[in-house]
């Protein structure tokens, strides 16, 4: 995305074969097959060299690792930046989910890693954005959320332009909870579509999934309007309906009768499956009812038949659509 925005970009990659393929053939056959990568994109297998490329007062590092890789990657980064005399780059992540064991949001993981460097500029970049469409140069709108205006401005300065509209927000919690919950809802919609329950059911899941996202997000400290924005409703609609979504694909496979292990074959990154149990635990901790998340957990981890989970959701007691407000 950075290179498409015409910024000189260095990609750190763990697989030397992929790094060589990007540098010599302008291809990344595993992740972005058939796409010719911009000349401004270089790749390196050397973490230290890749970080050094981004140092300076206008530097920007985007961490494109899953939630499970955040703590290690941030710790490595913090160690290198602490030893450098150069101005530190701003650090942004794209991951969407909760830490599987602790329920931490990505910003909490990052803050812990940079605890001894409290001036580090940190933020999250989120919103409806299938990587493949971004790499094809198709238009996209995203939100960068940070508690420091300067961090959001740095991302906007580099990325906002012809193809990408970058909005800013200070609601880091709301943005991150939206990203985490929309993946779980995409699995639910995939299951429903895999069972052939129709578009009415999918619309119901999206709408009630949004209510669930908002309930948890508000309880955790997010702001109501964030959930109606790109990183909430926007990404929920994309991921619940777009067939490029891996979370939706996992749901579709399970709705069609596969097990979770079969659906994740080949190491598919489906953050909704990785963090659904942590989301449920957060719901319990904050006293928030998360019926769709609970149904997804039962199906993924407790062998509940998808049809049984749907019946249980439908059989829940009737209630007002919005929290009760007395007539004025
Ligand atoms: N792929 C997409 O379209 C989008 C993905 N995201 C989010 O960004 C995050 C990353 O997604 P993807 O790039 O699709 O995931 P991915 O599974 O393809 O991983 C991205 C890179 O991270 C590396 N990685 C994996 N585990 C790691 C670890 N423990 N430590 C260090 N590096 C590790 C992988 O080798 C790979 O190079 C996820 O949380 C996803 O929800 C957000 C927007 C769009
Ligand atoms: O977050 C995404 C799009 O915004 C990508 O969704 P998946 O992880 O389900 O592929």
In this predicted model, what pLDDT tens digit does every residue of 192-214 receive, in sequence order? 999 999 999 999 999 999 999 99
Does the predicted model carry a pTM greater than 0.90? yes
Domain extents for the chain? 9-170, 174-314
Q: Domain 9-170 in CATH: superfamily?
A: NAD(P)-binding Rossmann-like Domain (3.40.50.720)
Ligand lying closest to the C-alpha of residue 105: 1
pLDDT at 86 over 90: no
Best of 1, 29, 64, 236 for a ligand 1 pocket test (most atoms within 8 Å of beta carbon): 64
ipTM: 0.97
| Confidence grade of residue 327 (pLDDT, cut at 50, 70, 90) | confident
| Confidence grade of residue 70 (pLDDT, cut at 50, 70, 90) | very high
Whole-angstrom distance, CA of residue 212 vs CA of residue 283 = 10
Helix (H) or strand (E) holding 169: strand 164-169
- In this structure, the dihedral spanned by the alpha carbons of residues 195, 200, 204 and 207, taken in order and rounded to 10 degrees, is 120
Q: At the topology level of CATH, where does 174-314 sit?
A: 1.10.1040
| Confidence grade of residue 14 (pLDDT, cut at 50, 70, 90) | very high
Whole-angstrom distance, CA of residue 57 vs CA of residue 282 = 38
Q: Please tell me whether residue 59 adopts helix, strand or coil conformation.
A: coil
- Give the length of the chain: 328
| Confidence grade of residue 324 (pLDDT, cut at 50, 70, 90) | low
Q: Does residue 231 have its Cβ closer than 6 Å to ligand 2?
A: no
Q: What does the pLDDT average to over 154-174?
A: 95
Q: What does the pLDDT average to over 254-281?
A: 96
Q: Please tell me whether residue 85 adopts helix, strand or coil conformation.
A: coil
The fraction of the chain above a pLDDT of 70, given in percent, is: 98
């Amino acid at each position: 995305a950075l290179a498409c925005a015409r910024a000189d970009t260095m990609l750190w990659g763990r697989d030397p074969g992929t790094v060589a393929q990007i540098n010599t053939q302008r291809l990344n056959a595993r992740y972005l097959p058939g796409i010719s990568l911009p000349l401004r994109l270089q790749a390196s297998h050397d973490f230290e060299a890749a970080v050094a490329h981004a140092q300076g007062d206008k530097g920007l590092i985007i961490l494109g690792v899953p939630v499970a890789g955040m703590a290690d990657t941030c710790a490595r980064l913090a160690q290198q930046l602490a030893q450098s005399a150069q101005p530190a780059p701003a650090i942004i992540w794209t991951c969407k989910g909760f830490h599987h064991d602790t329920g931490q949001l990505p910003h909490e993981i990052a803050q812990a890693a940079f605890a001894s460097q409290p001036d580090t500029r940190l933020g999250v970049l989120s919103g409806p954005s299938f990587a493949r469409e971004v790499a094809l140069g198709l238009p996209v709108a995203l939100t960068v959320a940070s508690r420091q205006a300067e961090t959001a401005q740095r991302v906007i300065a580099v990325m906002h332009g012809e193809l990408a509209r970058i909005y800013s927000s200070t609601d880091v919690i709301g943005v991150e909870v939206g990203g985490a919950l929309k993946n779980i809802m995409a699995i639910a919609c995939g299951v429903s579509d895999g069972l052939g329950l129709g578009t009415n059911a999918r619309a119901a899941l999206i709408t009630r999934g949004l209510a669930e996202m908002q309930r948890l997000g508000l309880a955790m400290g997010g702001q109501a309007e964030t959930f109606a924005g790109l990183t909430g409703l926007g990404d929920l609609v994309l991921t619940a309906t777009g067939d490029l979504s891996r979370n939706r694909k996992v749901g579709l496979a399970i709705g069609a009768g596969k097990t979770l292990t079969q659906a994740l074959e080949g190491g598919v990154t489906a953050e909704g499956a990785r963090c659904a149990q942590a989301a449920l635990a957060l719901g319990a901790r904050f006293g928030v009812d998360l019926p769709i998340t609970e149904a997804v957990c039962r199906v993924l981890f407790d062998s509940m038949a998808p049809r049984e989970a749907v019946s249980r959701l439908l059989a829940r007691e009737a209630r007002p659509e919005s929290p009760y407000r007395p007539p004025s």
